Structure 1
Amino acid sequence: VAAAAVILVMLCLLLASRMGSEFIPRLDEGDFALHALRIPGTSLTQAVEMQRTLEAKLGQIPEVKEIFTKLGTAEIATDPMPPSVADCFIMIKPRKDWPNPDMPKSELADKVMAAAKSVPGNNYELLQPIEMRFNELIAGVRSDVAVKVFGDQMEVMEETAGQIEDVLKQVPGAVDVKLEQTTGLPVLTIAINRPMLARYGLNIADVQEVIEIAIGGKEAGQIFEGDRRFAILVRLPEKLRTDLEALKRLPIPLPQKADNDAKLTRIAYQPKSSVATAGTIPLGELAEFTLAPGPNQISRENAKRRVVVTANVRGRDIASFVGEAQKRIAEEVTVQPGYWISWGGQFENLISASQRLKIVVPVALLLILILLFSAFGSVKDALLIFTGVPMALTGGIIALWLRDIPLSISAAVGFIALSGVAVLNGVVMISFIRKLIEDGMGLDAAILSGSLTRLRPVLMTALVASLGFVPMALATGPGAEVQRPLATVVIGGILSSTLLTLLVLPALYRMFNRVVASKKEVTV
């Protein structure tokens, strides 16, 4: 019996090593959050029109109740975003109002993504509202998994990140794989011709000041309204600031020699003239204008530049997905010296929580063993009762496997709670057997009588504890996804612990006490 129990424990540990794992089970919030990304530099007017088109398309889905969108940065900039990025919140009707109430949530998510992708000019990422915010607050990214590329040169980082993106798209379970948009923002570069400035005797600072005033603006004074003051900013109208030909016609004053001092003449802007007035020269003669895509954003983490590749995981657990992705990236992606990769998202939380559990679980088991020793005053009896813990783990692992639930922090909490509950049956049985032996009953008779007498209390203890967790194990309401692994572990563990306690613990107690008795006889 003892050998069979040991074999069962070993097989269950092997099964646990092959089961998937995740940080916490994905909650079904009922609604969707669609993260829409457009070309950097998209104007607010254009972004609003594109968003209205997207909302009209999504509104045609019969399961959708209403849609609202957050675009750009609010007055209180706690979540700054450019106009090219929008958070679209899709409220879903109750299931009873769906055309097909039995349709899985994943199928509805595919339907929403298909409708969104039919609207061109956007990249999408489908999440849930609370999940998106928690991912962003905890891990700094909105997706389940993030691969961060660190280095110095943006071009090298983007090339490496592009290779990683191609690899992640091939990993089963990966959806919404996208590379962080770091380029594409139109940038105007005005390269001043220094030899030409020297020819005309101009100072580069004077030319830059004209450009600064025309495009960026410069404070020329203040206006007061009661006790409030506002700066007066002087610059060209927006129509001229966005017109390259108009900017090329900006007059730059030439230095005038008078008493050997260089003085600048007062000039006025001539919007229709392509020829400079007397004493001025057009800016286009002194500088080269280039409008080309430039950096959209430069993100940093720990003072190092980074580019992020994000992905969501559906249809499999995060740990196995990341394990396969890490293997493929190591084989297919070449990372240059001076650049490195790190993993983030929920996987980062899973690793952090696992490190904490490696400390918490041994401490909890040690406390249980200390309490058992203080109760019985015997290391042997404490260890015998403590065997109920691995026996309980077998039931919890088998229960998770049968329900196709991966290991998670919720399940780990269930195992910790189970460790305390599992020893109760052993305490009841061993304490009664010891009492019978102290009353003068023989070892075998005490074990048999104690097992039969305590059968009903042990079964009642197990049934009460197990039945109390059944509603949690079968719950389908909000938050049930987190409760289900915990309850499944406790129910399965208590049942296996009770069964093995009734069969294995008496055999172990007889084995160890017979060895002790034989040693005493030899000594005598």
Structure 2
Amino acid sequence: IERSVGNVKEALRDGAILVAVVLFLFLLNVRTTVISLVAIPLSLMVTALVFRYFGLSINTMTLGGLAIAIGELVDDAVVDVENVLRRLKENSQKSQPLPALTVVAAASREVRTGVVYATLVVVLVFVPLFALPGIEGRLFTPLGIAYVVSILASMLVAVTITPVLCYYLLPRMKQLHAGDSPLAAWLKRWDARLLNWSFHHARGLLVGALIVVLAVAASVPLFPRSFLPPFNEGTLTVSVLLNPGTSLAESNRIGTLAEQLALQVPEVIQVGRRTGRAELDEHAEGVHSSEMDIDLRVSERSRGAVVQDIRTRLATLPAATSVGQPISHRLDHLLSGVRAQIALKVYGDDLDTLRGLASDLRERLSRVPGITDLQVEKQVLIPQIKIHLDYEQAARYGVAPGAVLRSLQQMIEGERITQIIEGNRRFDLVVRLPEDSRGLEALKGLPIETPTGAVPLSLLATIDDGEGPNQVSRENARRRIVVSANTDGSNMARIVSDIRAELAATPLPEGYFTALEGQFQAQEQAARLIALLALVSLTMIFLVLYSRYRSTVLTLIIMGNIPLALVGSVVALWISGQPLSVAALVGFITLTGISTRNGILKISHYINLCAFEGERFGRQLIVRGSLERLTPVLMTALVAAFALVPLLVSADAPGKEILHPVAVVIFGGLVSSTLLDTLLTPLMFWRWGGKPLERLLALRSNEKSQDSF
């Protein structure tokens, strides 16, 4: 836990440093950089106060939410600072400059609506994720709370503290009469060239972008799937299972041998073992079952390679072994009731038939690539005394079958008749037959009360020696046996598909059926729910934007950044080799809100130029608006992206495993949406935004509104 929290704290710190570096490269000014960066500590302080007020804890997931949001905490402040600085520079060139307070206030109001709506979209998109149930909900809800609270706090800082700092620090700045920073000036020159070129190739660019988006979307079903990213707990849990009835001495000997084999692996620091579990334990086990806890040291080999090395060495033992991790085992047990990633449960009535079916299915599943630790629930035949009641004889003697069975249960298993109290302690007093009266011959002569007097049990039932299973497992009132397995880390979706194909090809007797359970089941359910929540999020984005722009076309142009972000996210997942897990899907949902910010800033500025500065719809408007918004758009996107870099490196470090897929998706999406938005949003506005803009300006004129967009 300490390592996980420490790693996420380190990512949070490094992300803040990268944010400062990116801001300074664009602004090349200490004052503007400091004003923007003030949003980070103030937002974190507000978040901490909210957590304290509601009694929420600081843990890996809440810190992870802050680490993901750290770059976005300055976005609102950056937009405000950049616009104030630009307006102050323009004002300084006038023959009769306006008062600094007037300019700062007007510049802040100019971008305030866009800032507020962009932030609300980012927050509202995350809200449906709080509906996630089960394990995924418990994991990502704290992350979501920290993310949403910090983003709202940053907006509060941007509309209150940032304008005040701008008024006190910027008007008397020496660089007020200077132009853009070298980096910003170079980017604007290139952007102007690209925009002017793109107007002549608009149709080809838009069609090409559509083809790329469709191709990328078509590749999503091809991704390997997983429920959650594999945790790097630094500890392995190894189960060593012998046949029931194995003596403690033999089980201890095999366990000691397993310890010695595990210690031969260079990464193993120490091994602890327990053999058997007490009867009152939640997971009681006989002495035939041993469990080893193996602590690992960090090495150049991957965790998967180390696990495979241990599996190979333990394969020489005359026992069924399974290798996992403590938390992963608990998750598996919560999901399927079995400590394995895949649990195939076979249901039926006859135990011999169940064992035969389980053995046959195990043989079939052993041919599926990617399956490891394949084993059937241990059942062995043990000596038993079987009593078969003769119902005709019982009726002849006038005794009910239920009464006979109750008498046997009372005398063999025992019955509590009273309690003995000694001081503060209470003891149950149980009456039952002594051990020497439970043998075959003794039971035959066991007297059973009837209306005509006591008769020996042998007159009412057949009593024989026999064999029976050591345990009978039941689930949902049905007998069942389990075939369990883990995977070697390969595509879970493909493995499950192969297993289902094998099951479909395996005929079962009438009254027998199978149920396939495990992590994949939770992943499938979560994926369906997140897909539904994604539709809810998109609907919320549309409604929020439409309420402001009152145009379906303008709203869809802004939302066009979402599929552009999808391109980078999918490519980033392919490059990083990440499966499509619940964490990655949460990243996609988060990205839908973040990616709309660029479109909001650009479209709002186009409208404001027409509404307040006399610009007319056309290429000149689009080029001017795009260049004036280039710096804040790039800064907000790049600081949000580069702040995620600490979560992208050392992906398997404790605490970062579950945040890494989220960061990969958001980083890739921000890069692609920012680059493609530079050309495509202006082109879409140029081709389809003219008439909606005219209607919106006419509507504002009728309402005599002075609010900016």
1:370/1:61 CA distance change after superposition, 3 Å: same
State yes or no: 1:36 paired with 2:240.
Answer: yes
The answer for the alignment partner of 1:168 in structure 2 is 365
Contact 2:444 2:463 in 1 (8 A): no
Contact 1:185 1:296 in 2 (8 A): no
2:623 corresponds to which letter in structure 1? L
Contact 1:207 1:252 in 2 (8 A): no
2:579 corresponds to which letter in structure 1? P
* Partner Cα distance (1:187, 1:251) in 2: 17
SS in 2 for 1:406: coil
State yes or no: 1:440 paired with 2:615.
Answer: yes
CA drift of 1:515 comes to 7.0
* Partner Cα distance (2:406, 2:547) in 1: 83
RMSD (Å) for aligned C-alpha atoms: 3.7
Structure richer in strand, relative to its length: 1
1:499/1:232 CA distance change after superposition, 3 Å: closer
SS in 2 for 1:171: coil
Contact 1:187 1:292 in 2 (8 A): yes
Match among 501, 505, 513 for residue 681 of structure 2: 505
Match among 471, 482, 496 for residue 646 of structure 2: 471
The answer for the alignment partner of 1:391 in structure 2 is 564
State yes or no: 1:306 paired with 2:476.
Answer: no
SS in 2 for 1:454: helix
State yes or no: 1:138 paired with 2:341.
Answer: no
The answer for the alignment partner of 2:663 in structure 1 is 487
State yes or no: 1:10 paired with 2:214.
Answer: yes
Gaps of 5+ in 1: 96-100, 256-260, 265-280, 520-524
Within-5 A mapping of 1:367-386? 367-386=540-559
TM-score, scaled relative to structure 2: 0.60
State yes or no: 1:54 paired with 2:258.
Answer: yes
1:230/1:20 CA distance change after superposition, 3 Å: closer
Within-5 A mapping of 1:267-306? 289-294=464-469, 296-301=471-476, 303-306=477-480
CA drift of 1:236 comes to 4.9
The answer for the alignment partner of 2:429 in structure 1 is 231
1:263/1:409 CA distance change after superposition, 3 Å: closer
The answer for the alignment partner of 2:300 in structure 1 is 102
CA drift of 1:358 comes to 2.5
Which one is further off, 451-460 or 480-489? 451-460
CA drift of 1:324 comes to 2.4
Contact 1:40 1:185 in 2 (8 A): no
Contact 2:526 2:582 in 1 (8 A): yes
Match among 207, 210, 230 for residue 26 of structure 1: 230
* Partner Cα distance (1:135, 1:253) in 2: 47
SS in 2 for 1:315: coil
1:78 corresponds to which letter in structure 2? E
1:169 corresponds to which letter in structure 2? S
2:573 corresponds to which letter in structure 1? L
Contact 1:361 1:416 in 2 (8 A): yes
1:445/1:116 CA distance change after superposition, 3 Å: same
1:327 corresponds to which letter in structure 2? A
1:450 corresponds to which letter in structure 2? G
Per-residue deviation, residues 325-377 of structure 1 (Å, max 9, x unmatched): 212332x3113343333221101111221122122111111111111112222
Contact 2:237 2:323 in 1 (8 A): yes
1:462 corresponds to which letter in structure 2? A
* Partner Cα distance (1:253, 1:354) in 2: 61
Match among 53, 68, 71 for residue 272 of structure 2: 68
Aligned residues: 477
CA drift of 1:19 comes to 1.1
Per-residue deviation, residues 81-134 of structure 1 (Å, max 9, x unmatched): 233323222222x22xxxxx32222222222223323232x2111111111012
State yes or no: 1:83 paired with 2:287.
Answer: yes
The answer for the alignment partner of 1:188 in structure 2 is 384
1:134/1:212 CA distance change after superposition, 3 Å: closer
State yes or no: 1:178 paired with 2:383.
Answer: no
Percent sequence identity over aligned pairs? 28
CA drift of 1:391 comes to 0.8
Structure richer in helix, relative to its length: 2
The answer for the alignment partner of 1:318 in structure 2 is 492
1:478 corresponds to which letter in structure 2? P
CA drift of 1:450 comes to 1.5
Per-residue deviation, residues 276-316 of structure 1 (Å, max 9, x unmatched): xxxxx9x9xx9764242425222213x33332221111131
1:74 corresponds to which letter in structure 2? A
TM-score, scaled relative to structure 1: 0.80
CA drift of 1:432 comes to 1.3
Gaps of 5+ in 2: 1-204, 696-709
CA drift of 1:221 comes to 9.3
